[in-house]
Amino acid sequence: MILEELVTATRQNMYKRQQTYSCDVLKKQVAALDIKKDFLFEKDLATANLSIIAEVKKASPSKGVIVKKFPYLQIAHDYTEAGVAAISVLTEQNYFQGNLKYLRDIAAATTVPVLRKDFIIDPYMIYEAKINGASIILLIVAILTDQQLKDFFHLANDLGMSAIVEVHSELEVQRALAAGVRIIGINNRNLKDFSVSITTTIQLRKIIPTNILLISESGIRSSNDVAKLKKAGLNGILVGEYLMHSADKKKTITQLSEAKI
């Protein structure tokens, strides 16, 4: 039910934005860009020991407001200084209190690839991501048809953006692989009831080919968690709430990076 509500709110907010900027307008803006298909984020994932994607997040449906003070540019600066592989920015408004402005400002202020973290349900949102500086988008298998998954993945690729394709079950893994994706993100959080377990990643990793870049998302709260994921052969981790609560984000990122198996 939570996921359905998120999708409904996303669609309503998208319709409102389309009244100001139509998809045709966004396409014209994208056409004027110098699109590079270097996919630097993917190269980093493939070569690094364990890449960290650090998230800028003010709130969530399960926790409510995570931090009252939200100096998002300073947070992004700290992440950049810590050497993260990418910065994830929530843009969903109703439940995560995100905003496209956060994405746009952070993308303009850092050289690190930036991920638009949202419930993308329409090509319009992919063009929005590109215009606002995203290098990466999130595609959630649970809210897309097989055709949408393929089309959205190829559109992102055409626009020079990587796509992290999010799964939570064996069936969703098979659907992602059938779409020909390059990066799979295993969400340890069940989007239906918001329960969390990194065991989800460890179990699903067994059925994912080694040529697929693999990221673990949600519920990573300690160096011990990171060590378990390293042992499972992950390429990267996405860490949000744990970092948002940290008083010294650079130190916390260093500690996670140095986790030993």
Catalytic-role residue among 57, 58, 228, 249:
57
Distance in angstroms (rounded) separating the CA atoms of residues 172 and 191:
13
Q: Which of 216, 217, 241, 249 is flagged as catalytic?
A: 217
Q: Which amino acid type is present at position 150?
A: K
The span from the CA of 114 to the CA of 95, in Å, is 21
Q: Is 55 a catalytic residue?
A: yes
Question: Is 117 among the residues known to form the active site?
Answer: yes
Helix (H/G/I), strand (E/B), else coil: 209 = coil
As to burial, measured by CB atoms within 10 angstroms (0-12 exposed, 13-18 middle, 19+ buried), residue 227 is middle
Task: State the Cα–Cα distance between residues 195 and 189, nearest whole angstrom.
Answer: 6
Q: Which of 166, 216, 241, 257 is catalytic?
A: 166
150 is catalytic: no
* Options 218, 235, 241, 249, the catalytic residue: 218
Q: Choose the catalytic residue: 187, 216, 235, 257.
A: 187
The answer to whether residue 187 is catalytic is yes
* 218 in active site: yes
Distance CA 261, CA 251 (A): 19
| Helix (H/G/I), strand (E/B), else coil: 239 | strand
Neighbours of 23 (CB within 10 A): 14
User: Can you list the alpha helix ranges (DSSP code H) found in 184-222?
Assistant: 199-204
User: Rounded to whole angstroms, how far apart are CA atoms 50 and 259?
Assistant: 10
Known catalytic residue: 162? no
Known catalytic residue at 197: no
* Other CB atoms within 10 A of residue 145 CB: 10
Q: Please tell me which residue in 51, 58, 60, 117 is annotated as part of the active site.
A: 117
Q: Output DSSP code: residue 198.
A: T
Compute the residue count for the chain.
261
The C-alpha torsion from 123 through 126 and 127 to 133, rounded to 10°, is: 180
Q: Hey, which residues are catalytic here?
A: 55, 57, 117, 166, 187, 217-218
